[in-house]
Structure 1
Amino acid sequence: MKRLFLLLALLVSVNLHAQKFDGLADAPQMGWNSWNSFACDINEKLIRDTADTIVRLGLKDAGYQYVNIDDCWHGKRDKDGFIHPDPERFPSGMKALADYVHGKGLKLGIYSDAGATTCGGKPGSRGHEYQDAKTYAEWGIDYVKYDWCDTKGLSAQGAYTTMRDAIRAAGRPMLFSMCEWGENKPWEWAKDVGHSWRTSADIYPCWNCELNHDAFSRLGVLRILDRQAGLRKYAGPGHWNDMDMLEVGMGMTADEDRAHFSIWAMMASPLILGNDLRKMPESTLRILSNKDVIAINQDKAGIQAWKFFDDGRLEYWAKPLANNEWAVMVLNRGEQVVSTNYDWKAHFVSDEVSKREVDFKKATYAWHDIWGGKSGDTSAKLDAKVAPHSVLLLRLKTKG
């Protein structure tokens, strides 16, 4: 009961103009989440083993820092309404698990929902927002993914702002990842509410498909990419368009995996791994730990890419980087190998969002092919072949 009185006192003292914690997502967040591979089949051993694996495989050194527990960790609420973890799945408790993850130099994330129940039918946070945020802070949680099931009649802006304020009142910096699937256009109002917001339905590990369920659909890589049109102006340091968790290593081809990872990097989407890290082959690890692709995603300029040219067979995407550098991605959506003989000097590239531009008639850039290893410069046409369901990913630096 004492905890409940303390909570009520905390509510009275809350600043009505509370803001999210700054500095937690100056670059898109990187980590791992349990849902894509395990859904509700989770326990504390899986989380500990995954944290160990992130460190052992060098993924921590590559920038992945969050170990996020998704739905179904929940036990019951006690008589005062405070949530507890499932005692069979998490017998040591969340505080002990957070301490273990922190001991590895990593951070622990947790999941809840704006409704009375989660998507998996567990207790949601509706009516318990301040209690739950306080509990998470006491456990040592660093990241809150907040879903949107069982929310009929709720205002998304109101519900997410309430949890933001609750997290702020709890006093522990926790990254706030909003997961309402873009249904309420969070990019228009959530810059000061969350550190990232989902822009589409859940992802599915396919190139260009839509998997229909009774009440919802899951989307392939290209379907999610196409839903980003017009959203890049809303993204930047501390507030990112989230294209959902990665499906690299979950059944697509190697070309599709490299393209998927490249697209998410170019679009400045959070890089949250979804595969079973304990069992992945070396080829998947090489994709997920590619430091040059990660550097594009984590670039301090924080600018999302846009498609600046489409020749009907290949799409050309540009991302301005810090220090007057650029990333260029050539995307082959189709089923056949396509050759490019792109003339750099034929296109003046100008970005209305960042106000960055480049005229290859006046400036020559050296380029490096990140996946293929080749190099060249923009004084000559780009002569390359792009495999189906694949990308050519280049980093450009001025010569001289």
Structure 2
Amino acid sequence: MKHLPLFVLGLLGALPALGQGNNYAQNYKKFDNLALTPPMGWNSWNKFACNVDERLIKEVADAMVSTGMKDAGYTYINIDDCWHGERDAQGFIQPDAKRFPSGMKALADYIHSKGLKMGIYSDAGSQTCGGRPGSRGYEFQDAQQYAAWGVDYLKYDWCNTEGLKAEGAYKTITAALRKAGRPMVLSICEWGNDKPWEWGPTVGHLWRTTGDIYNCFDCIKDNGTWKAWGVMQIMDKQEHLRQYAGPGHWNDPDMLEVGNGMPANEDRAHFTMWAMMAAPLITGNDLRTMSPQTKATLTNREVLAIDQDPLGVQGFRYAAKDSLETWLKPLAGDKWAVAFLNRSKRPQPVRFDWQATPIADEVAKVELNAAKTTYRLRNPWAQKEVGTTKKPFVATVPSHDVVVVVLSK
């Protein structure tokens, strides 16, 4: 080497830098223009856990259409854990051949033929939470496979991630999805441990803020090494996170438990508060056998409009007294949604004087001032007009239930 001309040595020294600068740069930014309102769909886990197969997924897709869920705005059919078979000789993941004999491409084609989109599940670790092959070390191959199958949505979990740092791991799968070239919604399922709201908005489209939800209005299920949380516990954990949410980047308080065993009033409160929080609405019940009451709850267009409002502002708890909470959510067109939530086991009276105190939302930079502007009141659950802001609003909120009004000029 010492006998080579100096200009040759200079070129050789520059080659690694040139290569790294040009050939190995990765795009860690999510696909734009997806999930501009909170994603709506269905996921298999809450009801079926690992008991998933091709027939179930097709029947649920059929039911999403026949029940009116699709017409109400539900779009994604998301297959959670345990769909996986083994990797082939080249390392590409294959579906479980017994459960999905037609393959994932054929299943995606079926779902797409219904006017719906397909979601799939993987994990940043070596194994999924259900013990199937994870994506660690195979991120780019898995992304290529999902793109070839026609996947539209990826839920990416956080089990068995020894030594990994969340932000880096999720940037890797984002880069892999980018390289594969098919736009997909990325659902970051890291459980909120590493504050994904701080780094997630550029990497994914939604991020879990907590551990798993549990089908209970107000309780905690202790599983020993981890806990699952009731609806109210999950809701309380959203405090101080609303400034991170907006079109294309949402706080995710986990999937809905509506239709999985709670009474109608608790389902209604659960659904309402997720709408008030601008949460993704991913149902977790059996769409094929749901009751008329469950269907009516999940397809209430006026409550869905609160969640899907294009302004994309997450609501906030304005007041709380004697287990009665008042929540507000600014909406587009100078509208407001107001929810009175009763967390107690007895009915609670509510009297709200609209003109007494202007309410300012520092996050959205808007103000509700009924002393200057008169608003009409509409109850989206009763689907009727209920007066104006000229008079105080008076109602009784049943136990574990809500009363909601939408204010418009």
Same fold (TM over 0.5): yes
Quick check: 1:187 aligned with 2:197? yes
Partners of 1:111 and 1:247 lie apart in 2 by 19
What does residue 24 of structure 1 align with?
A: 34
What does residue 307 of structure 2 align with?
A: 297
Please report how far the alpha carbon of residue 321 of structure 1 lies from its aligned counterpart in structure 2 after TM superposition: 0.3
Partners of 1:310 and 1:373 lie apart in 2 by 26
| Matched residue SS, 1:20 | coil
Quick check: 1:378 aligned with 2:389? yes
What does residue 88 of structure 1 align with?
A: 98
Quick check: 1:276 aligned with 2:286? yes
The range that moved more, 335-344 or 240-249, is 335-344
Distance 1:392 1:14, change over 3 A: farther
Partners of 2:221 and 2:203 lie apart in 1 by 31
What does residue 399 of structure 2 align with?
A: 388
C-alpha contact (below 8 Å) 2:279/2:307 kept by paired residues: yes
Please report how far the alpha carbon of residue 14 of structure 1 lies from its aligned counterpart in structure 2 after TM superposition: 6.2
| Matched residue SS, 1:223 | helix
1:304-341 Cα distance to aligned partner (Å, 9 max, x none): 00011223341111100001001000110101101112
Alignment of 1:114-263 (within 5 A): 114-263=124-273
Partners of 2:28 and 2:265 lie apart in 1 by 45
Please report how far the alpha carbon of residue 15 of structure 1 lies from its aligned counterpart in structure 2 after TM superposition: 4.3
1:154-210 Cα distance to aligned partner (Å, 9 max, x none): 000000000011001100001000101101110011110010000011000111100
- Match of residue 47, structure 1, among 57, 60, 69: 57
- Match of residue 354, structure 1, among 347, 355, 364: 364
| Matched residue SS, 1:189 | helix
C-alpha contact (below 8 Å) 2:28/2:171 kept by paired residues: no
The range that moved more, 66-75 or 346-355, is 346-355
Distance 1:383 1:125, change over 3 A: same
| Matched residue SS, 1:190 | helix
Structure 1 or 2, whichever has the larger Rg, is 2
Equivalent AA in structure 1 for residue 154 of structure 2: V
| Matched residue SS, 1:344 | coil
What does residue 73 of structure 2 align with?
A: 63
Please report how far the alpha carbon of residue 107 of structure 1 lies from its aligned counterpart in structure 2 after TM superposition: 0.4
C-alpha contact (below 8 Å) 2:256/2:281 kept by paired residues: yes
TM-score by length of 1: 0.95
Task: Name the Cα RMSD after superposition.
Answer: 1.0
Q: Which runs of 5+ in 2 are unaligned?
A: 1-21
1:193-252 Cα distance to aligned partner (Å, 9 max, x none): 010000011000111100010221110010001000000000000000001000000111
| Matched residue SS, 1:102 | helix
Equivalent AA in structure 1 for residue 298 of structure 2: L
Partners of 2:362 and 2:237 lie apart in 1 by 20
What does residue 112 of structure 1 align with?
A: 122
Alignment of 1:326-365 (within 5 A): 326-365=336-375
What does residue 15 of structure 2 align with?
A: none
What does residue 84 of structure 2 align with?
A: 74
Partners of 1:14 and 1:243 lie apart in 2 by 36
Please report how far the alpha carbon of residue 79 of structure 1 lies from its aligned counterpart in structure 2 after TM superposition: 1.2
Partners of 2:90 and 2:23 lie apart in 1 by 20
Equivalent AA in structure 2 for residue 265 of structure 1: A
Please report how far the alpha carbon of residue 41 of structure 1 lies from its aligned counterpart in structure 2 after TM superposition: 0.5
Partners of 1:186 and 1:353 lie apart in 2 by 19
Partners of 1:362 and 1:339 lie apart in 2 by 27
Please report how far the alpha carbon of residue 373 of structure 1 lies from its aligned counterpart in structure 2 after TM superposition: 3.5
Q: Which runs of 5+ in 1 are unaligned?
A: 1-11
| Matched residue SS, 1:31 | strand
Q: How many residues align?
A: 387
What's the % identity of the aligned pairs? 56
